[in-house]
Structure 1
Amino acid sequence: MVEGQMVLDESMPNMALVPGFTMVNSGRAASLTAPSAPALQQVVGDAVRHALLSPLDVDAVECDAKGSLMHDAVEVVCMARQLRGVARGDEELLSLGGVKTKLGYTQETAGVASFIATMLQQRGGSLPGNLHLKTLNPHAFPEDEEAAVVVPSEALCHRCRSSFVGVMARGFGGTHVHTLLWTESTDQKIPSGKRDFMDLQAFNFWPGGGGELEDGAEPLKEYMINGSWSGWKGPERMRSEGTNCWSFTVTMGENRFEEFQIWCDGDSQKVLHPGDNGASSGAPVY
């Protein structure tokens, strides 16, 4: 705004609009980090009213989602009551997500990361699922309350080409900020530049050494893999991709690394690589 007039820089692409935002402080609470349900509901409601919207216009919320039993339960219940606790609120689905499930805790940059991620998700026209979601917080969905709230584990599409999505952030000292974003999905793709690939030389077996397997070391039937993603509970079958090529798909955990062993015919005494738990990259083949 310049002298009361809105000035737009049309030379820059319009990524999204911010129709409303609010910031409040919870004040005195049980402890410095204790969540405040009244402050949370106030900041969400004020942002919606500031944008001159109905709570049912909000399609989704990118939650603060600290991964704490109490914090997450309070946040989900407050979102459900404030955005779907109105007439016909059970007819409009509200999706809840969290950027921390994709990028980690992110500390002081959590709010900025949520803002940018939400804007890109809206332009893509989809709501990505929450990674590593295995069990819902039992306190976040009280049995005596019915609301059309979903915490997806897979991608969902927006109901319209344009969407309103809220972004929630909470500071260490009790400051709550809620921002509403509006944008339209676009078919424009992010250009991918040319990448220079190294001229890699093929190797016989593993980079750590070993070369060709000795006589009697090859499996009679198949290769199997055992790893930390299953808690080392037992080997799983690898899939043959052709001559001397075996594969296995692993879903990485929240730490973005896993440990594994490859067993011949599922025999723990015939381990190919690495030879023991916690072996580093480039460990020799046994």
Structure 2
Amino acid sequence: MEDAIRDGDTIDAVIKGSAVTNDGADKVSYTAPQVDSQAAAIHNALTMAEVSADSISYVEAHGTGTQLGDPIEVAALTQAFRQHTDRRQFCPLGSIKTNIGHLDAAAGIASFIKTVLCLKHRQIPPSLHFEVANPQIDFESSPFSINAELSPWDCDTSPRRAGVSSFGIGGTNAHVILEEHTSGSVNSNTPRPTSPQIIALSAKSSSALKKQTEQLTSLLQEDTSQEDASIDLSAVAYTLQEGRCNFLHRTAVVAGSASEAMKRLADDPGITQAVENPSLIFLLPGQGSGHAGLAEAYSEEPAFQTAYQACQKYIAADRTHSPQAVESECLELFSLQYSLAQLLEAYGVTPTGLLGHSLGEIVAACIAGVFALPDALRLVSLRGQLMDAAPAGAMTVASLLPSQAYDYLDDQLAIAAINASQLVTLTGPLQQMEQLEMRLKADRVAYKRLPVTRAFHSAMMEPVAAKILTEVAKLNLRPPAIPFISCVSGDWITTSDATDPAYWGRQTRSTVQFARGAETVSQLAEPLFLELSTGNNLTSLVSGWKQSFEDTTQDDSRIRCEEPRHSFLELIAKLWSAGVKVDWSATRPADLQTRRIPLPTYPFERERYWIEPGKFEQHTTLAPASAEAATTIDNWFYYPAWKRIIPVTSSSQPTDRQRWLLFTNDSCFSDDLAQLIEQSGQDVFRVRQGDEFEQAGFRQFTVSPDEPTSY
């Protein structure tokens, strides 16, 4: 009971007690029932339930309707009840066999289900076709009466209780005591205000999922069309999330009410073919990516707010100066991406790997456990300070092959990042970058200036890299717990690089090999990408590798600030639809006590596997004209008969003298056989069973069969 209440299960009734007896050895015949054994089962069930028969207000009888069985069953019930009460005709008696007949081995469970439904609806159905009682049953002096019409289940005592009997033909007698569930906290049908919920459906085929969606839509439509609409959307969501299997054909919608859920399901939300255990990659962009409004939008999410406040606490504790533009942007970007990762983890969404761009790699390293959070924030702060102090510069994205980009470089210009096969970021001093852009324009090369004021990943960052190396050398670096891509190599980072301070110095200065990193993660099984930003810059770059892994990017699955709760749940729903495991409990308010409710069951697609007989081609073969007709009846039929053979002559005996080992006993047959063999000139050694091995006479021995040494 405690488990059912904790899990929010629908409780229609409670099994208070049960008992089983068997009188198979005591009956006058195999099929004959016995009063005392049936009464004992009923009495024992009442004892186990710790209730009095006086509190039983309905009994579902075995009720076979036989001349012998019914009087004995009522006598047994009366005998058991009279140990508790002298009341007469207070308890209705019925049997589902008047409705559906005898179901043999399933008769007992049918009675059980009927009684549970009676308790649930608080009504007692009639016993069909009852007109006159069996004259051998004295109902007037018994505790029982027959219910002839549908009646409300009224009783003086509370809660309502019932007994259910099932008696086997061989002598097994079972009785169960059921009680209605009266707690309103779990089974209450009162609708309550609800926050947005994820309605998640899945099936083994798209057609079954479509049918399942139609069934749920019809249920919601039927409920919302009534004035006393009672369906609880949070209970619908909880039942689908926690009470259903997750198959690979999936669809999910987010709704704040039953009517909204009905409309979204009716609008054909689409079916996603999920994959088992997709490789989820978090994409972590660098400076210049969209993150405006994230802190305010997700301030109501506890996991996000806890992580974000922790970042601000560490930043404030180390602050000894007023941060400039680059430092402020870096610290805010780090805090937001780290907090989003913690929020996703709180929803059970954990990445298979991480792919960061420039500063994003430091966030990835912190998420992977290489840097402790305070150390990572100090590193980002120092990195930002040093970049703020660096000379002014610029960065421009150009549509060039890396090999083409080198034609535009000089000693002061560099390739900051190779983002795709034909997309590079060029960097350098402001004046030289302006001249570069003029050349690009003249050559009709598409380009775009980035909104930054420093030449990141250029020679101008070498002083920054040297000081970062010194600072990182003071930190305790740990091996990554989650794989992430190295911006320097474009491959999975090694433990030696991740824990090497010199690597983090190079990472600040070197070209970001994002395209190579995207190609590396494309080799994973079923890659799926999620960008921790309000933008989709990295997602669009990764989508350039679709020829390697088709439609595995979720172009519309990104972080949004509009209606943050609703949009974030939509993101979780899309991730689940793609095959990502999520923690459904995180999608519900912590103080929401929800429950499982009856919903349309799985729409099994019944297929016919009947083996059709092959087409029979009739062949008519005419007998040759010369064939003789079977004129005698002797050749018409086959029948068994003795086969006559020549008898074996007595001379067919062994001619060579041999030794025979004969295991014998004290029977005459053994002696006769030995004598017959000896008469043919053979040597016979007799062996009899004894306690041990010994020679009992000439060519006679005894052995102990269980003793191996006797042989």
* TM-score bracket for this pair, using the shorter chain length: 0.5 to 0.7
Could you tell me whether the CA contact under 8 Å between 2:14 and 2:181 is conserved in 1? no
- Structure 1 counterpart SS, 2:111: helix
Could you tell me how far apart the structure 2 residues matched to 1:134 and 1:51 are? Answer: 34
Could you tell me how far apart the structure 2 residues matched to 1:97 and 1:118 are? Answer: 10
Could you tell me how far apart the structure 1 residues matched to 2:188 and 2:61 are? Answer: 27
Which of 89, 94, 114 in structure 1 is aligned with 2:91?
94
Cα offset, 1:183, TM superposition = 0.8
**2:530 aligned partner:** none
Could you tell me whether the CA contact under 8 Å between 2:54 and 2:85 is conserved in 1? no
Normalised to the residue count of structure 1, the TM-score between the two structures is 0.59
Could you tell me how far apart the structure 1 residues matched to 2:143 and 2:124 are? Answer: 16
Which of 146, 149, 155 in structure 1 is aligned with 2:144?
149
Amino acid at match of 2:73: E
Amino acid at match of 1:132: H
Aligned residues: 187
Could you tell me how far apart the structure 2 residues matched to 1:115 and 1:149 are? Answer: 19
- Structure 2 counterpart SS, 1:181: strand
Which of 35, 38, 49 in structure 1 is aligned with 2:36?
38
Distance 1:10 1:187, change over 3 A: closer
Please show how residues 54-69 of structure 1 align to structure 2 within 5 Å: 54-69=52-67
- Structure 1 counterpart SS, 2:176: strand
Could you tell me how far apart the structure 2 residues matched to 1:102 and 1:82 are? Answer: 27
Could you tell me how far apart the structure 2 residues matched to 1:115 and 1:80 are? Answer: 21
Which of 75, 78, 83 in structure 1 is aligned with 2:73?
75
- Structure 2 counterpart SS, 1:162: coil
Could you tell me how far apart the structure 1 residues matched to 2:3 and 2:152 are? Answer: 33
Cα offset, 1:141, TM superposition = 1.2
Amino acid at match of 1:22: A
Deviations 1:2-50 (Å, cap 9, x if unpaired)?
Answer: xxxx633523211211110001101321111100100000000010011
Amino acid at match of 1:56: D
**2:692 aligned partner:** none
Please show how residues 1-286 of structure 1 align to structure 2 within 5 Å: 7-8=3-4, 9-28=6-25, 29-84=27-82, 86-90=84-88, 93-141=90-138, 146-160=141-155, 162-184=159-181, 193=219
Report the identity percentage.
26
Could you tell me whether the CA contact under 8 Å between 2:91 and 2:145 is conserved in 1? yes
Amino acid at match of 1:135: V
Unaligned 5+ segments in structure 1 are 196-286
Larger radius of gyration: 2
Cα offset, 1:84, TM superposition = 4.1
Could you tell me how far apart the structure 2 residues matched to 1:170 and 1:107 are? Answer: 10
**Higher mean C-alpha deviation, range 152-161 or range 176-185:** 152-161
Could you tell me whether the CA contact under 8 Å between 1:56 and 1:84 is conserved in 2? no
Normalised to the residue count of structure 2, the TM-score between the two structures is 0.25
Deviations 1:81-128 (Å, cap 9, x if unpaired)?
Answer: 3214544423x7011100100111122111110001100011111111
**Higher mean C-alpha deviation, range 33-42 or range 102-111:** 102-111
Cα offset, 1:134, TM superposition = 2.0
Distance 1:96 1:167, change over 3 A: same
RMSD: 2.7
* Structure with more of its chain in strand, by fraction: 1
Amino acid at match of 1:34: A
Could you tell me how far apart the structure 2 residues matched to 1:59 and 1:88 are? Answer: 14
Could you tell me how far apart the structure 1 residues matched to 2:41 and 2:47 are? Answer: 10
Deviations 1:148-169 (Å, cap 9, x if unpaired)?
Answer: 3101111232234631101100
Could you tell me whether the CA contact under 8 Å between 1:60 and 1:165 is conserved in 2? yes
Distance 1:187 1:73, change over 3 A: farther
Distance 1:116 1:43, change over 3 A: same
Could you tell me whether the CA contact under 8 Å between 1:93 and 1:150 is conserved in 2? yes
Could you tell me how far apart the structure 1 residues matched to 2:180 and 2:171 are? Answer: 29
Unaligned 5+ segments in structure 2 are 190-215, 223-711
Could you tell me how far apart the structure 1 residues matched to 2:147 and 2:60 are? Answer: 12
Distance 1:162 1:66, change over 3 A: same
Could you tell me whether the CA contact under 8 Å between 2:23 and 2:171 is conserved in 1? yes
* Structure with more of its chain in helix, by fraction: 2
Could you tell me how far apart the structure 2 residues matched to 1:107 and 1:152 are? Answer: 24
Could you tell me whether the CA contact under 8 Å between 1:58 and 1:83 is conserved in 2? no
Amino acid at match of 2:144: V
Cα offset, 1:61, TM superposition = 0.8
